[in-house]
Amino acid sequence: MTPSLASNHDINIQLSDSVWTALQQYCAHTGGNLNHTIETLLARSLELEQHTIFQVSTAGALVEGVFQGCVKVADIKRHGDFGLGTFDGLDGEGVLLNGELWQVASDGQVNKVADDTLSPFWVSTFFCADAQHTLTEALNMATLAKRLDAWRSSANLFVALRISGQFDWIKTRAACKAQPGEGLLAATSHQAEFEFTALRGTLVGFWTPDFARTINVPGYHLHFLSDDRQHGGHLLEFSATQLAVELHTESNLYLTLPETAAFMLADLSHDPSADLSQAEKNHS
């Protein structure tokens, strides 16, 4: 399954000085480029795909080693400006932030991804914060999860999470490209792991209800991208003392499934949550 690319449409408009100034200030605040910002604001005004997750394939299929790319990056970006995933063959970690999609490779390099790149698994949304909080305390994965748990409105809705600030220390991983026949556990057993200190960046991710554990990683799943776009990966652990937290509750799920032979023939009948939990952990 490889959907067709979206059409691009140019538009010329005249803006008042006040709107132009506000637009520039908004871009500076969010870090988004002008084209992406205008499109995002228009989409919100027209109520396009708000509170909707667009997902390619399932976490259960990843556990079974269904790593063949099936959807192009260009099509992923049609359905969101924020999200995470991986690439053909489980080749590194993906981060979609402010409409730009990045790959954190197994050697630690961070590269912007071409629109014709294929992904076997992706989760995205048009991020629009429903709630914002500032945390000023000693933070790690456990304390952050405790605060987020208190702020989520329901145990039965998905939540997109954008968390930014200064990280005193952060540990990430990037999956190495899988060998033929490997499942997720085997592939992540030789993952590359990285540690960074005194680094500003953003955590991009989702909280998934337990009832959807065959579809996505249950609980919190976060990827990191530094502000300088030089470091990132799947989050393993961190320490920080001040972070800005934004939550976007998701009540709609759009799931597109691969039509590849690997997916069609995979046995997806068992509960993958134990394998997913093991694959998500720090292996060193």
Average per-residue pLDDT for the chain:
89
Q: What is the pLDDT of residues 146-205, one digit of tens each?
A: 999 999 999 999 999 999 999 999 999 999 988 877 888 887 877 899 999 999 999 999
| Half-sphere exposure at residue 61, Cβ-oriented, CA atoms within 13 angstroms | 28
Model confidence pTM above 0.85: no
Q: Which SS3 state, helix, strand or coil, does residue 146 take?
A: helix
* pLDDT exceeds 90 at position 66: yes
Domain spans, the chain:
17-48, 128-251+270-280
Could you tell me which residues come within 8 angstroms of residue 236 by beta carbon, excluding any fewer than 6 positions away? 171, 172, 173, 193, 281, 282
Report CA 109 to chain centroid distance, whole Å.
18
Quickly name the fold that domain 128-251+270-280 has: 60s Ribosomal Protein L30; Chain: A; (3.30.1330)
Q: What is the pLDDT of residues 230-258, one digit of tens each?
A: 999 999 999 999 999 999 999 999 999 99
Contact 248, 129 (CB under 8 A): yes
DSSP designation for 228 = T
Task: In whole angstroms, give the CA distance from residue 18 to residue 73.
Answer: 35
Predicted pLDDT at 282:
57
